[in-house]
Amino acid sequence: MGALQEKMQRLETTEGKRVIIIGGSAAAFGVDSSMLEACLNDTMPTKGEIQRPDDLVDSNRRLHAEDTSGAISDVRVVNLGMYGGLGTRVMLELANPKIHSGDIVILMPEMNAQSYSSYFGPSYYLQGLGEHPKYFLCLSDQEKGQVIGTMPQFAVKKLRSLQQKYQPAPTEVYQRSSFNQYGDVDTVNATVNVMPDGVDTVTPVDFSRKLLEGDFVTYSNAFAKKWQKRGATVYYAYCPVNAAAISEEGQLQDFHRQLQDTLQYPILGTPEESVLDIQHFYDTNFHLNRDGRAYYTYGLLRNLKASVGDSRYTISPREWLALREEQPAEAVRRTLVSKAASEVTDLVWEKTAQGIRITGLTSEGLSRPSIDLPEAIDEVPVIAVADGIFAEAKELQEIHVQVTSPEQMTVGQGFLDGTDAKVYVPAASLEGYQLNYFWSTYGDQLYGE
């Protein structure tokens, strides 16, 4: 969250025309701003000459001669993508005073109910901007009240963190140094898919129309209208989505039609174009790895250029990736500590081709004060825990997670619904759990042992 102040400073100090990306962490992980900027400005670095076809193909897949009449050029990219727990609306409010004529603003909310609502996370705001009171004035009166009400508890947490003097390990992705100058998450530590079976099965992606019942359409239309009057151009773009996570593929077009009917600013592309294969993702169904960013940005470029009639050649992901000198990190294989199925009497689980998913507690487990979540059962890794399985465990006081790597076991937003139990993880992995995208939600209840 500390990187938010650098993002705001870039927005404030970057002069001229900007392409401004606003969204959650899917935007931070999903956009390769250097690729976007270099391709729009035609300043593409090369290793030798890139062989470009005689006939160029635009975003509508028509062959034609190059047309630069509507070209977007001389722009700088600012990626304001931030953790979704902060809230989509507050990101629009923070950006609002700095949007001016010539800007291209791309709104990229994640496909979940929280991102399409007016949800606001005051503690995350304080983590990112608490030392900069000028941003406080951008908030609504209700949000200001939430920030003030959160300050005492936040101050206690901050004092504790200062006493710990924690420095993230160089391999941790969720730290300030993982952001590049544009505001992208750009680190060699996020190069492969680390999800147990390539997808987060606990939180599937839903393109339901119910998402549009939130406040996003109403408030984004209001901001778009305001910015358009200032001479800015506003677009909506679908965020990257893991193909293996889509609950009902038939919903995509229905959602798109509804969005077209309600948004008062244009949409770049279709939802299908934002759906990528599992090898392009990192640790969630919305977070791309380094190679995945190039593939998503390529689609974003083609749609953006098509919207203004710019048919200049768009470098392909393969060509762009060939310009990078660094090699992707290799996945590390580990020996798992396994329990025999006969020893696991508290849990209900199902075994799939990818691994074991904990789906509930047995009657014996529901009465216990302590529950163990093993790393593997009969040598098969435990890869996910269903939401709400502890809600009826009235005696539960402790949950002992025996998984060394937090990336191995996926938990959802309702992991601890209905319980105040403390969660114990291996002491050597505590900091990794506290920084993990999924587990960090429960940071106040995590303890090392």
**66 has a pLDDT exceeding 80:** no
Tokens for 136, please give them.
């406080």
pLDDT at residue 168 in the model: 72
Kindly report, residue by residue over 352-366, the tens digit of the pLDDT.
877 899 999 999 999
DSSP for 395-410 reads T--EEEE--S-TTTSE
CB 107 within 8 A of CB 22: yes
Q: Which of 399, 400, 397 is nearest to 426 (CA)?
A: 400
Between CA 376 and CA 337 the distance in angstroms is 6
Confidence of residue 45 (pLDDT cuts 50, 70, 90): low
Kindly report, residue by residue over 143-166, the tens digit of the pLDDT.
999 999 999 999 988 888 777 766
In angstroms, the Cα distances linking 445 to 167, 174, 315, 410 are: 20, 19, 47, 17
Q: Where does CATH 3.40.50.12480 sit in the chain?
A: 338-448
Between CA 80 and CA 7 the distance in angstroms is 6
> Rounded to 5 degrees, what are φ and ψ at 121?
-105, 90
Between CA 203 and CA 197 the distance in angstroms is 14
Strand pairing class (338-339; 376-377): parallel
Q: Is 259 left (phi over 0), alpha (psi -120 to 50) or beta?
A: alpha
CB 240 within 8 A of CB 298: no
DSSP 117: T
Give how far the C-alpha of residue 157 lies from the chain's centroid of Cα atoms, to the nearest Å: 25
Kindly report, residue by residue over 255-303, the tens digit of the pLDDT.
999 999 999 999 999 999 999 999 999 999 999 999 999 999 999 999 9
Kindly report, residue by residue over 308-329, the tens digit of the pLDDT.
888 888 888 988 888 876 554 4
**Amino acid in the structure at residue 175:** Q
Total number of residues shown for the chain: 449
Topology annotation, domain 338-448: Rossmann fold (3.40.50)
Between CA 285 and CA 239 the distance in angstroms is 10
CB 284 within 8 A of CB 200: yes
